[in-house]
Amino acid sequence: MAITEPRPLALPSGEGEFTVEHPLGVFERPKPRGGWRSWLTTVDHKKVGIMYGAAALFFLLVAGSEALLIRMQLWSPRGTLLSADAYNQVFTMHGTTAVFLVVMPIGAAFMNYLVPLQVGARDVAFPRLNAFSFWVFLMGGIFLNSSWFLGGAADGGWFNYAPNNGVLYSPTHGIDFWNIGLILTGIASLVGSINLIVTILNMRAPGMSLMKMPIFTWMALVTQFLILFAIPVLTSAQFLLLFDRLFDANFFNVAKGADPLLWQHLFWIFGHPEVYLMILPAFGLVSEMLPVFSRKPIFGYPFIVFSGVAIGFMGWGVWAHHMFVSGIGPISVTTFSLTTMFIAVPTGVKILNWTATMWGGKLRFTSPMLFSIGLVTMFTIGGLSGVSHSIAPADTQQTDTYYIVAHFHYVLFGGAFFGFMGAMYFYWPKVFGYMLDEKWGKANFWLLLIGFNLTFAPMHVLGLHGMSRRIYTYDSGYGFDLWNKVATIGAFTIAASVLLFIINIFRSKAKARQLPPPGPDPWDARTIEWMVPSPVPAYNFDPIPTVTRVDDFWYRKYGETEDGRLVRVAATEDVVQKAEGDHDVHLPSPSYWPLVTAVGLPIIGYGLLYTWWLCLIGGLITVAGIYGWALEPPDDPDAAHGDDHGPDEPAADEAPASEAGTGEDAVDKEPETVG
């Protein structure tokens, strides 16, 4: 196999994407071109992030429609829009979709897109694995929602308690779809978490120690650790349920002495870290936006970091506050009540720090800023009701009422969703190369704020008056009628606001042709992802910057006088990276094996429910995918083989890795001059 004479390798370049038929493992890697096929085979974290975002927005419409159905059914007492059974399916799927297919993927979208940029890397640690994560997530989401067409969706609530989740009480396949679909999305999340943790720990730019990372990256790191450790707990519970339902096992079969509470414990050990992993990315994003629009650094960087880590740790010790009335006994209830009270502390620290960041700053009320302030205020309200839940005797009245519904929507919708919306406006120019219209953005915000509060504020009242959740209707004469109507009007207002957002996207894109491009740094921001052109080129940075402090980019533009006043030291154009010029950077080649491997998994899922043949076929596809992936040719040597490490000289080929390392050092780590 020795090739001794120097000659260019004869590669069939430029002959269309998928060329010759080869035995397994010998497929050429697809050439990176445009078009829809490049999206199917991409391993670029930016494209993967955009796909996560697009999928999340689609599922937002699905979950939102389900919410509107709920609100229409509850408009008046004894509504007739949905039967009890249909209502159960709708609210179950609304919760499941919103949690697993909207909020988590939006977080994943931002983390995938931004983390490599914020740490100064070219991509994540395992680009193909990243693509695989997305495809498996998408397959899981489609699988889960295919239940609507295949006999009915899950109907036990998004948490599907035992024994209701067994075949005796839920004989349709709905819960099986829920179960298997979420196992698939769980695989996606778990694999993605390993990817991002390795990226953050191993691939930071020179000079970027952990305490110089942007806050969003820190929150992403904590989130990924939470995912890493929480998802397997859910997976174990799900396999127990799967075996009960498909193979008649006895994990939740009371007649054989099983305890349905086991499901609750396992689910909530996952479920509580789950809510933190939904909110932490939004916290991180807001921690990026508030300083930019206050023209002040984040107040108490170490405190924000450590409180995020603390939330991550403490989130493991509070799960049974979801089970206060399930009969776990006074000792358990007291313990978890105390731990739950304590967890308000680190979150409170964050609220304080954000407020202090804004205090005395030169505030600019742009759309991202409005949404960020929205998160801080709405989340505080939700947090306060949360503290009231932590007092177990009070929770005994509140639980299973609309008071709880109000709480979690304030923290998840008012918190996470507002944060993500703001971040959409903030990062849109960076990702797509044009700004979203500010006027429409502000209208979007105010309509959303009004609609959101109209919908969920009354639910506090409804809950305290005793309106039960998870029930398809209510009777008149309880005082519920008015507030339910208000809530429904609010829900449609939210829908209008989301519509505004979508219209804004199309309008802004059309108008962008007549407007000058926003450039790399339209907001005068602080972190290094704003140094690169907009939209971000495939190679991210050229060269990879050396980082010397937190908010490194800001301090390349600004210095401080002795009395602490900001002074401009360099024009933005001189500090940002240019898109033109020869960028000879070797990037990971695209691959279709992640997609192939991912496609086999839902087929196995359908096989488990319908016929073993599908399991076999799906299994073969997945195994073939894994082998193809492992054996496929390396990154296309034909691609520009370039300058992020030194040129390949004959001597370099024989030398061990350290030589290549020095080559890299010479190019990437040369210190940059400011201004």
Nearer to other proteins, 19 or 38 (CB): 19
Residue 511 Cβ, how far from other proteins at the closest point, in Å?
40
The yes or no reply on residue 35 touching other proteins (CB under 8 A) is no
CB closer to other proteins, 39 vs 229: 229
Handedness of CA 175, 177, 180, 182 (dihedral sign): negative
Residue ranges in 329-348 that form contacts with other proteins under rule CB under 8 A: 329-330, 332
Indicate which single residue of 86, 194, 352, 617 sits in contact with other proteins (rule: CB under 8 A): 194
As measured in angstroms, the least distance from the Cβ of 423 to other proteins is 26
In three-state secondary structure terms, 401 is strand
The contact pattern for other proteins, residues 207-226, with x = CB under 8 A and - = no contact, is ------------------x-
Nearest distance, CB of residue 234 and other proteins, angstroms: 9
Stretch that binds other proteins, among 231-239, 371-379, 382-390, 437-445 (CB under 8 A): 231-239
Nearer to other proteins, 275 or 292 (CB): 275
Q: Does 16 bind other proteins (CB under 8 A)?
A: no
Please choose, out of 33-41, 475-483, 528-536, 649-657, the segment that lies near other proteins by the rule CB under 8 A.
649-657
Is residue 71 within 8 Å of residue 488, measured between CB atoms?
Answer: yes
DSSP string, 479-528: S-HHHHHHHHHHHHHHHHHHHHHHHHHHHHHHHHTTSPP--S-TT---SG
Task: Pick the closer one to other proteins by CB: 331 or 567.
Answer: 331
Backbone phi, then psi, for 531, in 5-degree steps? -85, -20
When asked if residue 126 is in the footprint of other proteins (CB under 8 A), the reply is yes
Among 168, 211, 254, 616, binds other proteins (CB under 8 A): 254
> According to the binding rule CB under 8 A, does residue 11 interact with other proteins?
yes
Token digits of residue 302: 């170490």
Selection from 50, 116, 68, 95 nearest residue 275 by Cα: 95
Pick the binder of other proteins from 68, 72, 228, 443 (CB under 8 A). Answer: 228
Nearest approach, Cβ of 250 to other proteins (angstroms)? 4
Nearer to other proteins, 127 or 419 (CB): 127
Q: From the list 151, 171, 479, 661, which residue makes contact with other proteins (rule: CB under 8 A)? A: 661
Q: How far is the CB of 260 from other proteins (least distance, A)?
A: 8
Count the site residues for other proteins by CB under 8 A: 89
Tell me the C-alpha distance between 518 and 50, whole Å: 19
Q: Does 261 bind other proteins (CB under 8 A)?
A: yes
CA separation for the pair 289, 370 (Å, rounded): 10
Longest dimension (CA), the chain: 92
Interaction of residue 639 with other proteins, rule CB under 8 A: no
Q: Identify which range of 47-55, 527-535, 551-559, 663-671 contacts other proteins by CB under 8 A.
A: 663-671
C-beta neighbour count of 519 within 10 angstroms: 14
Give the whole-angstrom CA distance, residue 380 versus residue 598. 40
Closer of 290 and 318 to other proteins (Cβ): 318
Is position 663 an interface residue for other proteins (rule: CB under 8 A)?
A: yes
Q: Quick one: CA dihedral 516, 517, 520, 521, positive or negative?
A: positive
Euclidean distance between CA atoms 662 and 656, whole angstroms: 11
The C-alpha angle with vertex 316 and arms to 311 and 317, in degrees rounded to 5, equals 100
Cα–Cα distance, 51 to 626 (Å, whole number): 22
Taking the least distance from each CB to other proteins, the nearer of 56 and 162 is 162
Tokens of 282: 């939004």
> Are 604 and 559 within 8 A, CB to CB?
no
Rank residues 256 and 362 by Cβ distance to other proteins and give the closer one. Answer: 256
Quick one: which of 144, 140, 153, 122 has its CA closest to 190?
Answer: 140
If the CB atoms of residues 142 and 660 are measured against other proteins, the closer one turns out to be 660
| 202 contacts other proteins (rule: CB under 8 A) | yes
Nearest residue (CB) to other proteins, 6 versus 35:
6
Site for other proteins in 287-316 (CB under 8 A): 316
Tally of CA atoms within 13 A in the half-sphere of 299 that contains its CB: 15
Answer for which of 62, 98, 115, 190 binds other proteins (CB under 8 A) is 190
Q: For residues 530-589, which are near other proteins according to CB under 8 A?
A: 586, 588
Nearest distance from residue 593's CB to other proteins, in Å? 15
Question: Is 231 among the residues that bind other proteins (CB under 8 A)?
Answer: yes
Which of 142, 167, 262, 570 contacts other proteins by CB under 8 A?
Answer: 262
User: What DSSP state is assigned to residue 211?
Assistant: G
Applying CB under 8 A, among 93, 233, 378, 491 the residue interacting with other proteins is 233
Contacting residue, 400, 438, 481, 635, with other proteins by CB under 8 A: 635
Considering the complex, what minimum distance in angstroms separates the CB of residue 34 from other proteins? 23
Comparing CB distances to other proteins, the nearer of 196 and 435 is: 196
Structure tokens at 25: 């493992």
DSSP state of 468: B
Contact status: 327 vs other proteins (CB under 8 A):
yes
Q: Which two tokens stand for residue 368?
A: 């991202």
Residue number with CB closer to other proteins (47 or 645): 645
For residue 193, count CB atoms less than 10 angstroms from its CB and return exposed for 0-12, middle for 13-18, buried for 19 or more. Answer: buried
Rounded Cα distance, 578 and 442, in Å: 31
Residue type, 15: E
Cβ-contact 263, 496 below 8 angstroms: no
Binding to other proteins by residue 657, rule CB under 8 A?
A: yes
DSSP conformation letters of 70-138 = HHHHTSSTT--SS-HHHHHHHHHHHHHIIIIIIIHHHHHHHHHHHHHHHHT-SS-S-HHHHHHHHHHHH
